[in-house]
Amino acid sequence: MHPFQSFCRDELTRMKDEGRYRSFAALNKSRQQFPRYTDAQGRVITVWSSNDYLGLGGSDVLAEAAIAAVREHGVGSGGTRNISGNTPAHEALERELASLHGKQAALVFTSGYVANQAALGTILASMGGNWHVFSDAKNHNSMIAGMKNARAKTIFRHNDAAHLDALLAAAEPGVNKLVAFESVYSMDGDIAPLAELAEICRKHGALSYLDEVHAVGMYGATGAGVAERDGVAERIDIIQGTLAKAFGCHGGYVAGDAEIIDYLRSAAAGFIFTTSLPPALAAAALASVRHVKQATELRARHAEGARKLKDAFRAVGIEPMPSVSHIVPVMVGEAALCREVSRLMLEDHGLYVTPINYPTVPRGTERLRFTPTPRHNDAEIAFAAQALASVFRKVGLLRAADDAA
C-alpha cells in the first residue's frame, strides 16, 4: 500500500468520527414537481436546500431553449472558445450579462468557481505581480483560490468597512490594490455594505471585485444583484456572478470594463484552456437572464417565502440566524449532531435540508441551511417548521417549554 492510501484511509476515518464525512442523498429531481423529489423507494421528498433559488431549473423557458439548441448544435461544444466552442449563443449571453450589470463587457466561464479563480488569479499575476489584495474574512473558497499567489494578502474583518479603510490607508505605497468581497454571504445570509466598500475602494485607488453569486436574479429591479438594488453597480469595477443558482442553469461569468474583460479573455488560463459551455446551456442561460429581468413578481414571492419561513421558525421557538437575505440558516453547533438532525428530517419527515459543517463553516458553528423558493407553499413552510421543532426536541436542542407552537 502506498503511503498516500494510508493517509486517505486515516483522514476518512477521522472525518467520519468528527461527523464531517460527506455523503450524498440519493434523490431524483423532478422538473415538473420541484422542489419535490423522490427517493430510491419512491417516497416524495421536499428539498429545502437547493440553490435553484427561483425554481427555474426545470422551467419550460429554459428547457425549450436548451432543447432547441441541442437540435441545432448538438450536445457538446466541441472545444474551447478559441478552437471550435464559440457560438452565437455564447456571444449573445455575454452581451446580455454585460447589459444586466450595466457594464461594457462580460465573459462566461464554465462555473462560478472557475470564474473567480481564473479572473482573480490572472489579475493578481499581472503587472509584475505587484498587487496587494484585501479580502473579506468570509469570502468563498473560489476567491481565496484565486488570491493564492498574490504577493501580499490582507484579511479585513467581515463586512467591516472601517477596518478595510484603515488597512488600505496603511498599505505599502506604489502597490496595486484590489479589494474582494461578496454581496450575499451564503452561509450566514448577511449582506455587505456595498456603498461604503465601493467608496473606500475609490478613495484609496483600489480595484473593486464583487461576487454576486448568491444575489443575481433575486435583488434589484432587473435581478442584477445587490449592487443594482443599492444603486452602486457603476462604482464596482468587476462584478462576478453565476448562472447556476437563481438563473437555474450552469456556468459563471465576470462583467466589467471592456479592456479588462478582453484581457481576461486573452490571458486567463481557466478560460483559454477549458472546453466551453455546451451551446444548450448557453442558450438556456440566455433565455433565463432575459426572463428573470422581467420577473419582478417572482422575486417578490421569493422574498416573501423567506420571510414566512423565518416567522414560522420563530413561532415554534426556533430562532434562525440573523439573516437579512433569502438564506435561512439555523444553528446547531456540532458536526455529528447537525448530520443527525438532517438525517431525522429526511427519514422522519421527508424533508431534505443540507447539514453545513467544517470546512464550509468554522468548527462549532455547524448549521442547517434552508433556502425557500417561490415554489414552496405556505403549508410546506408551516410543516417544515413543525418538523424541525420535533427533531430539535428529539435531540435535545429544544425543550417542550420553549416550543411556542
Question: Which are the catalytic amino acids?
Answer: 245
Dihedrals phi, psi of 108, to nearest 5 degrees:
-95, 135
d(Cα 251, Cα 277) in Å, to the nearest integer?
7
d(Cα 52, Cα 389) in Å, to the nearest integer?
25
The dihedral region occupied by 364, where left means phi > 0, alpha psi between -120 and 50, and beta the remainder, is: left
- Amino acid at site 239: I
CA atoms within 13 A on the CB side of 245: 25
Closest CA to 21 of 331, 244, 327, 343: 343
d(Cα 329, Cα 365) in Å, to the nearest integer?
11
Task: Find the helix or strand (DSSP H, E) in which 252 lies.
Answer: strand 252-256
Provide the greatest CA pair distance for the chain: 66
Q: Beta 131-136 vs 152-156: how paired, if at all?
A: parallel
**49 close to 390: Cβ distance less than 8 angstroms:** no
Closest CA to 370 of 356, 357, 359: 356
Give the three cell numbers for residue 324.
Answer: 437579512
Q: Beta 238-242 vs 207-211: how paired, if at all?
A: parallel
d(Cα 12, Cα 322) in Å, to the nearest integer?
33
Q: Beta 36-39 vs 27-28: how paired, if at all?
A: antiparallel
